[in-house]
Amino acid sequence: MARATITPQQLRDHVLTLGEKHPPISLDSVDRTVHDAVGVRETFGPVIGYLSRVELEVDRNVLELLTLLPEVDETDRLFFADVWQPQEIQHGLILDRLQQDLGMDPAEPNTTVISPKVRVLGALSHLRPVQEVARLLYYLTGAATERSAVLAYNKLSAGLEDMGEHAIARTVVAPIKQQEPGHFAYYRLAATQMVQAGVLKPWQVRLTQVLRRRSFALVGVNKPGQDADYGQVVSTLGLEEDLAGFARDISRVERELLWAGQRGMEVPGYVLAALKDAVGAYRDRVATGGAATA
């Protein structure tokens, strides 16, 4: 069945609806009552810590976006400035407060340091063809990131419910996980609209494929040791049990749009390889008695 054509107005309407229906979550609206702080910390502490750091790094994500897209269009700006950033920062603040309630150290997010590969691509983005490639890469990265978040929050919520920690499951995690699918939908719609409109020429698509394969990184993995932290999240949440399925789920937008010509491809190899490397790094850490990244 052919995919319905997405118009720029539909994309903008989606952003406006997100802003109206899902305002940033107030810290005062959540109930951080925990019955077994030690149990929650030992079971899900690394997950909560990782998610809080990633959510709080949204300010750096905005800096990276402005570096990659110096001529960002109004709908993208409306999304990241008025909807995505305000929502994500509240997610991070709430989770960070929760982890401190559990006796953990506050998050130490990187909010200012832009990676060299982003700076290099950004230096070329004043050229319109390069900026168009960067924009599609931004959408694909966003889609994979938000889909990962949806799956992680679903697993975390279920795990906390099983422990009887209903307050934080229902008033902390549930409201957060309710907002993440709208972010994923934006990136999926925006990427699809670009492809449907034929914005990229064949050589730009090929360049996007090369850059995506070479630059793909799991969300929150920006320095040595954080791959093992990510692997711990995957292992703790039980996502390791079907790693190929997890990879297939988080990469489905790029598989459909970027690799549509690759018949039989279920998972881009670079996505599954990154996940396997992260889980392997975590196993190595456990085997050697190493500590989580500060």
| Other residues' Cβ atoms within 10 Å of the Cβ of residue 131 | 18
> pTM of the prediction?
0.94
As a whole number of angstroms, the distance between CA 79 and CA 75 comes to 6
d(CA 224, CA 217): 12
Q: According to the model, what pLDDT value does residue 187 have?
A: 97
Q: Phi-psi category of 57—alpha, beta or left, where left has phi over 0 and alpha has psi -120 to 50?
A: alpha
Question: Domain 8-288 falls in which CATH fold?
Answer: Ribonucleotide Reductase, subunit A (1.10.620)
Neighbour-count burial of 79, counting CB atoms closer than 10 A to its CB (0-12 exposed, 13-18 middle, 19+ buried): buried
Task: Round the average pLDDT of the chain to a whole number and report it.
Answer: 94
Distance set, CA 197 to CA 16, 71, 200 (Å): 22, 19, 8
What is the per-residue pLDDT for 294? 54
Residue 117 has a pLDDT of 87
Domain ranges for the chain: 8-288
pLDDT band at 265 (very low <50, low <70, confident <90, very high): confident
- Please give the average per-residue pLDDT across 126-147, as a whole number: 96
Q: 262 pLDDT exceeds 80?
A: no
pLDDT at 292: 72
Quote the tokens at residue 8: 């720029």
Spatial separation of the C-alpha atoms in residues 104 and 245, rounded to whole Å: 32
**Token digits for 245?**
């399925």
Least confident of 103-112, 151-160, 258-267, 274-283: 258-267
Structure tokens at 60: 């750096």
- Confidence at residue 195, expressed as pLDDT on a 0 to 100 scale: 95
pLDDT over threshold 70, residue 113: yes
For 170-180, the pLDDT digits (tens) are: 999 999 999 99
* Angstrom distance (rounded) from CA 171 to CA 154: 14
Inter-axis angle of helices 37-56 and 85-101, to 10 degrees? 150
- The alpha-helical segments, DSSP class H, found in the chain are 8-21, 37-56, 58-68, 74-77, 85-101, 116-124, 128-162, 166-168, 174-196, 202-215, 226-236, 243-250, 252-257, 269-288
- Residue 93 reports pLDDT greater than 70: yes
Q: What is the rounded average pLDDT of the residues 143-162? A: 97
Enter the DSSP assignment of 112: S
Instruction: Encode pLDDT of 186-215 as tens digits.
Output: 999 999 999 999 999 999 999 999 999 999
pLDDT band at 2 (very low <50, low <70, confident <90, very high): low
Q: Give the pLDDT confidence score for residue 215 in this predicted structure.
A: 92
**Is residue 1 over pLDDT 80?**
no
Could you tell me the pLDDT band of residue 27, with boundaries at 50, 70 and 90?
very high
